[in-house]
Chains A and B, each alone.
Chain A
Amino acid sequence: MTDSIIQVTNLDKDFKLPHERIGTIKGIFTNIFSFGNRKYEIQHALKNISFEVKKGEFFGIVGRNGSGKSTLLKILAGIYQPTSGTVFVNGKVIPFIELGVGFNGELTGRENVFLNGALMGFSEKEVQEKYEDIVNFAGLERFMDQKLKNYSSGMQVRLAFSVATRLAESDILLIDEVLAVGDIDFQRRCFNYFKVMKKQGKTIILVSHDMDAIREYCERAMLIERNQVLLTGPSYKVASEYNHIFVQDSKRDQYSAKDSTRWGDGKIKHLEILSSPKELKDEKNIKITVKAEAKQTVDNPVFGFVIKSASGQNILGTNTSIKRQSIKKLRKGDLITLDWLVPNVFTDGMYYIDVSAQRENGTLECDWWQDAARFKVFKEERTPYNISPDVSLHVHPIGNSG
């Protein structure tokens, strides 16, 4: 107990949402007459949250949109007040809820550094000591006396990140999806910085949707679902539970092909797309069956597909032309069935299939069907990467140089 740096016990947070916001004095007067039944809705943003974070821990908070993660972070940062329960924070907290808080476009880069520093509690002298370091790290030496409004957004982010990371000498860092902005290089730098912080014994709390980041960096994590704690434990368990609730939920709201979009001239129409099995565990392959009908006679049709992850990233795909399986001609009314056998290289998650039928060697689109089918993957062996094919391993007997 003594080494816990954050301790939250039975925390509740309610927001009162008036049905009709009484934001004017007139509103009060007109409402006096209906005082007894003044209507507002209580929204429970957080219900009975308890957890503790130990000193030096990298702790993740995960949950879907609207689950209450950000509210929790704001309470930890002292921005919101808890409705009931206790929040004990032992040390200085710096929230990275947004980079560059208080940045003002009318001020120069230099002035903004000092303002931002002051907002984090650093005196001019303290900022001055690190000023050169901040500017060098951001790589903006030539621009510091220009107004911030003339910076590109990338430059602004670099400056903000540089100020935050060079100055933030707090015991606890609260990070809310800062990593979602910026390019890959920037995200990598963020994580490198967090690793350094961790080595220095700082406590880091990371709120994220990115399960890969949670698995890779956090030791423990907490899953918040419907404003309550669903699970606290090792991050890999929490991350897989998080994926699991998504899959469960998608079972409930029956996915229908109506949600998908299609376009093309319609000379070929896909009839049905099937993936079997619909849920993959450690099967070697997944079979995708494509059935289509030619509505008119077409020459040199090409059929293809793309498999996308839940976040919309294209994972793999191919077509009949790449496979050198040429189909000369389809006459009006012809039916065609293709079976694609795809090796199961997928990481855990939900996948969507786009199919396409083209004619004239792929120059004209007949029927592009987005999200025509989907399937899920659960694997025993989990890796935090985009694909996880079956990698085999053989460890040779240990030899000796002497």
Chain B
Amino acid sequence: MKKLQQRYRYSFILLKQLVKTDFKLRYQNSVLGYLWSLLKPLALFTILYIIFAKFLRLGAQIPNFSIYLLLGIVLWGFFGEITNGSVMSIVGKGDLLRKLNFPRYNIVLAGSFSALINLFFNLLVVSIFMIYKGVPIKPDALLFLPIIIELYMFSLALAFSLSALYVKFRDVNFIWEVIMQGAFYATPILYPLSLIADKHKFAAQLLILNPLAQIIQDARYILVTDKTLTISSLYGNSFARLIPIFVTLLIVIASSIYFRKRSKYFAEEI
């Protein structure tokens, strides 16, 4: 018991310093510093909003489509930051791994913390927009927390797998780039899901099984507008909701087992 406590104490100390260091190094010598992590999603949002909402008139039937779009981009950005950042994280710390024995998961975990901090500030921006636009905040908004937890678990699990895979296979980063590109369009971020559901219901039902799609749609439903199609409304029952959650759990378990098994050999294989 005491040993366990010691182990986690070490992890906690280490994690804190790694996150701090990461944070210090990231915004060194940059004039706007931390602001960049807010400007990045806002810039993407502006571009997409002008093209898709203003010119192509996407999402005209959805009230507050701008916030709907922004929330999607922020959540997607969070997912992307954790997973993209993780791929090379273990290999990048190879020097350290070869010389010290510490719980390896701290490296991946530390990487996800800066994404969490960014998410927090990005959501602050979203809520400012919501207040400005007069979107009512319902008590349902509390449900947003378990949704974020699901998103974090899903992203983190993939991050663990990706970082461990990259130790053995160095093309994982290229493959992941391609997957991310495809996933950006396969996930209803810049188009409303109803666009697909109206014509091909089955396709929409398939797309929503992706935990990311389910998460983003649920978040929008709770925070922005109940005109958002969710997995429950697409399938017509609430049981379907269990599928993406089950998928997430499966990925979490598989990733933990894989990472645990591989992490012993990181020092030798890097």
Having A23-B170, A79-B100, one finds 4 other A-B pairs with CB under 8 Å, namely A15-B268, A24-B171, A25-B169, A81-B264
* Interface mask (A89-108 → B, CB under 8 Å = 1, otherwise 0): 00001010110011010110
A77 within 8 A of B: yes
Distance between Cα atoms of A22 and B121 in the complex (Å):
42
Tell me which of B10, B13, B99, B170 contacts A98 (CB under 8 A).
B99
Establish whether residues A106 and B25, one from each chain, have CB atoms under 8 Å apart when the complex forms: yes
A212 within 8 A of B: no
B21 within 8 A of A: yes
Establish whether residues B100 and A101, one from each chain, have CB atoms under 8 Å apart when the complex forms: yes
Distance between Cα atoms of A28 and B17 in the complex (Å):
38
A119 within 8 A of B: yes
Residues of B in contact with A (beta carbons under 8 Å apart) = 9-10, 13-14, 16-18, 21, 24-25, 28, 95-102, 168-171, 175, 264-265, 267-268
Interface core residue of A28, A77, A79 (most chain B CB under 10 Å):
A79
Give chain B's interface secondary structure class: helix
Whether A23 contacts B14 in the complex (CB less than 8 A), given A79-B100, A119-B102, comes out as no
Query: Which chain B residues lie closer than 8 Å to A24 at the CB level?
Result: 169-171
Determine how close the nearest CB of chain B comes to the CB of A97; give it in whole angstroms: 5
Establish whether residues A79 and B98, one from each chain, have CB atoms under 8 Å apart when the complex forms: yes
| Interface 9-mer from A110-118, A233-241, A309-317 | A110-118
Whether A107 contacts B96 in the complex (CB less than 8 A), given A26-B171, A79-B267, A114-B17, comes out as no
Distance between Cα atoms of A79 and B103 in the complex (Å):
10
Whether A81 contacts B99 in the complex (CB less than 8 A), given A104-B25, A119-B14, comes out as no
Distance between Cα atoms of A121 and B24 in the complex (Å):
20
Establish whether residues A80 and B267, one from each chain, have CB atoms under 8 Å apart when the complex forms: yes
Whether A78 contacts B101 in the complex (CB less than 8 A), given A24-B169, A25-B169, A118-B16, comes out as yes
Query: Which chain B residues lie closer than 8 Å to A136 at the CB level?
Result: none
A74 within 8 A of B: yes
Query: Which chain B residues lie closer than 8 Å to A81 at the CB level?
Result: 264-265, 268
Determine how close the nearest CB of chain A comes to the CB of B181; give it in whole angstroms: 18
Query: Which chain B residues lie closer than 8 Å to A101 at the CB level?
Result: 95-96, 99-100
Determine how close the nearest CB of chain A comes to the CB of B263; give it in whole angstroms: 10
Establish whether residues A25 and B175, one from each chain, have CB atoms under 8 Å apart when the complex forms: yes
- 20 A-B pairs with C-beta separation under 8 A: A23-B169, A24-B170, A25-B171, A25-B175, A79-B97, A79-B100, A79-B267, A80-B267, A81-B264, A81-B265, A95-B99, A101-B95, A102-B100, A111-B24, A118-B18, A119-B14, A121-B9, A121-B102, A123-B13, A124-B16
Distance between Cα atoms of A36 and B21 in the complex (Å):
47
Establish whether residues B25 and A118, one from each chain, have CB atoms under 8 Å apart when the complex forms: no
Query: Which chain B residues lie closer than 8 Å to A25 at the CB level?
Result: 169, 171, 175
Interface core residue of B16, B17, B95, B268 (most chain A CB under 10 Å):
B17
Query: Which chain B residues lie closer than 8 Å to A95 at the CB level?
Result: 99-101
Which chain A residues numbered 1 to 59 have a C-beta less than 8 Å away from chain B?
15, 23-26, 28
Establish whether residues A118 and B170, one from each chain, have CB atoms under 8 Å apart when the complex forms: no
From B175, which residue of chain A is reached at the shortest CB distance?
A: A25
Query: Which chain B residues lie closer than 8 Å to A79 at the CB level?
Result: 97-101, 267
From B21, which residue of chain A is reached at the shortest CB distance?
A: A115
Establish whether residues A106 and B28, one from each chain, have CB atoms under 8 Å apart when the complex forms: yes
Distance between Cα atoms of A104 and B93 in the complex (Å):
12
Distance between Cα atoms of A78 and B97 in the complex (Å):
11
Determine how close the nearest CB of chain B comes to the CB of A29; give it in whole angstroms: 11
Determine how close the nearest CB of chain A comes to the CB of B177; give it in whole angstroms: 14
Interface core residue of B16, B95, B268 (most chain A CB under 10 Å):
B268
Query: Which chain A residues lie closer than 8 Å to B96 at the CB level?
Result: 101-102, 119
Establish whether residues B10 and A121, one from each chain, have CB atoms under 8 Å apart when the complex forms: yes
Distance between Cα atoms of A4 and B267 in the complex (Å):
28
